[in-house]
């Protein structure tokens, strides 16, 4: 097994991102590009979901059809051209959590959405034996290929056994710093990496397969809307938990 975050750290990140999605969906917004590059970090190592260049208003019960997003994170119903709804964001969250827990994507990317769809439909999404049963169950429910059966609400997300004794209260979640992120900030080479735009890169994590995870060659993005594509951020050279270098203004959602 290559480098990865501990399940305790993944639990904190999952709770914060789940709250962000629940907040957006309650206001009738689908993000459509939940991925590692669209996550910001606070000084204490907590997460903020950012970059709403592909988001749109979609009321509960509504349907969308535009194929957009980052191909490794796109739900099968998005890859197929819809219809899809807010459940697609929960699939993307499942892919992101899997990559944080293992250091790699569950399915290698394909060069186009049709090829990726065939692979996603045929892949069993088996959980590594190193996962705890509760984490395996959470990811299995998030990566359910049938969106009507997928874990797709914050209430159901909170009830997962993986979050036993975990608070979803914003103030309490933010109170305890994420130690692994603070340790990265204190490394002697942090200043040099900051000048190169790699301040929060996960590259210092020993054994983390950053080339396979987020190298430019492994990050094809599929956009059918030319105007939307112009606002889509370019891939980053490493698995940095920081905002992409897009052209438009960036907004944060504080959960």
Q: Which residue of the set 26, 33, 112, 169 is catalytic?
A: 33
The answer to whether 33 is a known catalytic residue is yes
Contacts for 92-96 with beta carbons within 8 Å, 24 or more apart? Answer: 92/31, 92/33, 92/34, 92/35, 93/14, 93/17, 93/18, 93/21, 93/34, 93/142, 94/139, 94/142, 94/143, 95/143, 96/17, 96/34, 96/35, 96/36
Q: Residue 10 is encoded by which pair of tokens?
A: 């993944």
Q: How far apart are CA 138 and CA 121, in angstroms?
A: 19
User: Residue 190 burial (CB < 10 Å; 0-12/13-18/19+)?
Assistant: middle
Tokens 């959602």 label which residue? 253
| CB count in 10 Å sphere of residue 201 | 22
Beta strands in the chain (DSSP E): 29-30, 39-41, 47-50, 56-57, 252-253
Q: Which residues are catalytic?
A: 33
């Amino acid at each position: 097994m290559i480098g990865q975050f501990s399940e305790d750290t993944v639990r904190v990140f999952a709770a914060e991102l789940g709250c962000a999605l629940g907040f957006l969906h309650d206001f009738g917004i689908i993000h459509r590009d939940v991925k590692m590059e669209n996550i910001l970090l606070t000084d204490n190592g907590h997460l903020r979901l950012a970059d709403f260049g592909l988001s749109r208003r979609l009321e509960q019960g509504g349907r969308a059809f535009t194929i957009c997003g980052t191909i490794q994170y796109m739900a099968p119903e998005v890859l197929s051209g819809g219809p899809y709804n807010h459940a697609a964001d929960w699939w993307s969250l499942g892919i992101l959590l899997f990559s944080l827990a293992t250091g790699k994507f569950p399915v290698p990317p394909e060069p186009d959405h049709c090829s990726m769809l065939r692979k996603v439909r045929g892949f069993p999404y088996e959980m590594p034996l190193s996962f705890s049963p509760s984490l395996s169950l959470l990811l299995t429910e998030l990566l359910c290929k049938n969106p009507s059966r997928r874990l797709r609400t914050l209430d159901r997300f909170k009830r997962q056994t993986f979050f036993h004794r975990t608070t979803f209260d914003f103030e309490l979640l933010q109170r305890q710093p994420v130690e692994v992120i603070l340790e990265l900030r204190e490394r002697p080479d942090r200043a040099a990496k900051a000048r190169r735009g790699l301040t929060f890169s996960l590259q210092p994590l020993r054994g983390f397969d950053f080339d396979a995870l987020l190298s430019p060659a492994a990050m094809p993005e599929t956009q059918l809307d030319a105007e939307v594509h112009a606002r889509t951020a370019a891939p980053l050279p490493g698995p940095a938990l920081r905002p992409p270098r897009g052209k438009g203004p960036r907004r944060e959602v504080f959960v």
